Chains A and B, each alone.
Chain A
């Protein structure tokens, strides 16, 4: 009775939020779809004209899209692998008792709080620079010459930078998860004869499966649209060697001023993100289900 009398129509209250979402999501999506079907270059004073699937044909027949797509997947996959492995290892280490543990934890988490542009600049100019970088100085003093990371292995260099930035995130999620593992379960494993390796493999790692799935999901969302690190360090080069989809779209739109082509790239990026998302949801979703 009371419930019924107090029932309020919630529709009108939700309208502003739903409306905002629609305006911010659906309108740009529709505009992108519309532009992708236009011949529309800002350098061409002739204005716009309907192009049909021409922009898509240009993209698909060109080499840039496929290289960029490959780079995107490689970047996401490699950084995911490194951050998950490194994050798990660090979490297990930081979970142990040792003097100075709190400071150590703070230092491990720290890189995550540095702006991507800043850390990319630090890596580019202070660490990996072949002339005055720290790494070059070390290798030179060992008589090994000076490697030019961004020229010889640009994608690997970017993977390293991004992994450095995001491993702390994995630790941030995995360490508390590890600490929530019941003490009695560890003790039971000790009584069962599990040493450090068996404990990690059979008790700690299975316990971390859910949080690892969460880390993978969140990181993938960010890695698919990675931009700042590439812009600051290699600008997508040399050639297309470190161009991912996000950077390709940026180049098409703001170097070549081809709004139509860039929009078509954007649509492809959306499609790729959805494919990856569906794949992830399947894998991750199963893990989340299985452990319930």
Chain B
């Protein structure tokens, strides 16, 4: 239950600026995802909020209070690490209750809390196991449980699903959303996977080279990307970028679902590859000027590799960007 505010926060390692003047307000109970490629500063930003990194510039406020002088454990935040960082010599229950033990909470109370959290995570049977006897997904639960036991004001999650297999990832995504709804706490989630961000977050902050490119709801980012970078980062498969005819320096962006095949279109090209996903097919084409274009077609589309076809871009799916990569409205 906390709002987290960043006021022109910056981070330098020597002369290298990793985070540059980030302003952001994470509302109470909001689920915010930081996305960006590696090196975009998203993890550093999260670690600064956690207190694991010092802040070079600006300040961070939790519930309106500056936390510049507050050590990590006293900020009331809990963090889930990419590697889970489970203590290998402690059982799952001991891992989860470690923070309470350090805080001097009596054993009976600790046990009760651990059991309560374990019930919420459906992992009561695992409590007495050592980490080496747990699978990746189970370790993930212990890490989540360890964070939940502290009843933090906000959860900080650093790529928590990246070590799980695809099926488990999808399951944990739903579970995290459920937890967020039930716990009613603020969550900040760092990921390089835009699908995770799109499916879970109330709001996405896209970071690039230490700057906020755009912050908004998943659909805002998808439908009205503010820059070429956001346009290319959000959405899979990626948005197509075509050099605009007539307007010098401008780029036309269009998502695959806004490209129609063979309806007397203005673009012509040859099919170079087909990705058949069953429900739909992604058609990869090389246009006459050499640019690549991906179009979405029906799952049972009859086109074949080598076909020469025409493509039409739907008017509502056109995104224009100027020479510096900013959106032109």
Contacts and interface: CB of A to CB of B under 8 A. Distances in A.
Contacts of A97: none
B81 interface: yes
Given A184-B81, A184-B82, A198-B102, A191 B50 contact: yes
A203 B85 CA distance: 11
B197 to A, nearest CB: 22
Given A202-B87, A206-B87, A193 B81 contact: no
Contact of B132 (A194, A207, A292): A292
Interface string B284-299: 0000000000000000
B81 A192 contact: no
Most B-side CB within 10 Å, residue of A193, A203, A291: A193
A182 B85 contact: yes
Interface stretch (B18-26, B71-79, B201-209): B71-79
Interface in B44-103: 50, 52, 71-74, 77-79, 81-83, 85-89, 98-99, 102-103
A292 B132 CA distance: 7
A292 B130 CA distance: 10
A191 B87 contact: no
A118 to B, nearest CB: 41
B79 A191 contact: yes
B52 A187 contact: yes
Contact of B85 (A185, A193, A206, A292): A185
Contacts of B74: 193
A94 to B, nearest CB: 23
B102 A191 contact: no
B94 to A, nearest CB: 10
Given A191-B72, A192-B73, A203 B87 contact: yes
B289 to A, nearest CB: 48
A188 B86 CA distance: 8
A190 interface: yes
Given A185-B87, A291-B88, A202 B82 contact: no
Contacts of A191: 50, 52, 72-73, 77-79, 99
B85 A187 contact: yes
* A interface, over-half SS: helix
Given A184-B83, A292-B132, A190 B102 contact: no
Interface in A194-242: 194, 198, 202-203, 206-207, 209
A187 B146 CA distance: 14
Size bracket, chain B contacts: 20 to 34
Most A-side CB within 10 Å, residue of B52, B71, B77, B146: B52
Contacts of B102: 192-194, 198
Contacts of A189: 87, 98
A193 B89 contact: no
Most B-side CB within 10 Å, residue of A188, A190, A191: A191
A289 B37 CA distance: 41
B82 A192 contact: no
A202 B98 contact: yes
Contact of A192 (B52, B83, B98, B132): B98
Interface string A231-259: 00000000000000000000000000000
B89 A182 contact: no
B73 A193 contact: yes
A190 B73 contact: yes
Contact of A206 (B52, B72, B83, B89): B89
Contacts of A190: 52, 71-73
B132 A188 contact: no
A206 B95 CA distance: 13
B87 A187 contact: no
Nearest to A194: B102
B91 to A, nearest CB: 12
B101 to A, nearest CB: 9
Interface string A48-62: 000000000000000
Contacts of B72: 187, 190-191
B121 to A, nearest CB: 18
Contacts of A292: 132
Contacts of B132: 292
A185 B143 CA distance: 11
Contacts of B150: 192
A189 B71 CA distance: 12
A75 to B, nearest CB: 31
Given A182-B85, A184-B83, A191-B52, 4 more contacts: A184-B81, A192-B99, A206-B87, A206-B88
List 7 A-B pairs, minimum CB-CB distance, nearest first.
A193-B73, A192-B99, A188-B85, A184-B85, A206-B89, A184-B81, A185-B85
30 contacts: A182-B83, A184-B81, A184-B82, A184-B85, A185-B85, A187-B50, A187-B52, A187-B81, A187-B85, A188-B79, A188-B85, A190-B52, A190-B71, A190-B72, A190-B73, A191-B50, A191-B52, A191-B72, A191-B73, A191-B79, A192-B73, A192-B98, A192-B102, A193-B73, A193-B74, A193-B102, A206-B87, A291-B88, A291-B89, A292-B132
Interface of A: 182, 184-185, 187-194, 198, 202-203, 206-207, 209, 291-292
